């Protein structure tokens, strides 16, 4: 589809609360493909619609398995049942270029989505 510009900090749009998606129609499918194209082009592993200026609750991720693409998308995701055990990984963000930090996150969680 197409590669979009990624919004960078300190753009206040990144702080905007995204709107829930009522249904996944043609526009949302195109947006999801644009998010994947933009994420892959930028060598990222995740991207939210707000990062390309669209305040919709849609994210894409690809945590490759054995160097094979494993694309996943989530519409209206809600994190549930977070594990008390933590995992630490170095993380970055495409909207905050060249910044990396060790982040503790729950080892497992459930995600509810449309």
DSSP label of 19? B
Single out the residue of 100, 63, 59 nearest to residue 78, CA to CA: 59
Residue pLDDT, tens place only, 6-21: 999 999 999 999 999 9
Q: Could you tell me what percentage of the chain is helix, strand and coil, using 3-state DSSP and rounding each to the nearest 5?
A: 20, 35, 40
1 has a pLDDT exceeding 80: no
Query: Quick check: 55 and 16 in contact, CB under 8 A?
Result: yes
**Residues paired with 86 in a beta bridge:** 106
Percentage of the chain with pLDDT > 90? 95
pTM: 0.91
């Amino acid at each position: 589809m197409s590669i979009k510009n990624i919004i960078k900090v300190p753009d206040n749009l990144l702080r905007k609360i995204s709107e829930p998606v009522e249904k996944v129609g043609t526009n949302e499918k195109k947006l999801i493909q644009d998010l994947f194209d933009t994420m892959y082009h930028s060598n990222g592993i995740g991207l939210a619609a707000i990062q390309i200026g669209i305040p919709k609750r849609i994210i894409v991720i690809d945590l490759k398995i054995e160097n094979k693409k494993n694309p996943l998308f989530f519409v209206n995701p809600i994190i549930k049942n977070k594990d008390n055990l933590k995992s630490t990984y170095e993380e970055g963000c495409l909207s905050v270029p060249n910044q990396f930090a060790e982040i503790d996150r729950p080892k497992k969680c459930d995600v509810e989505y449309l």
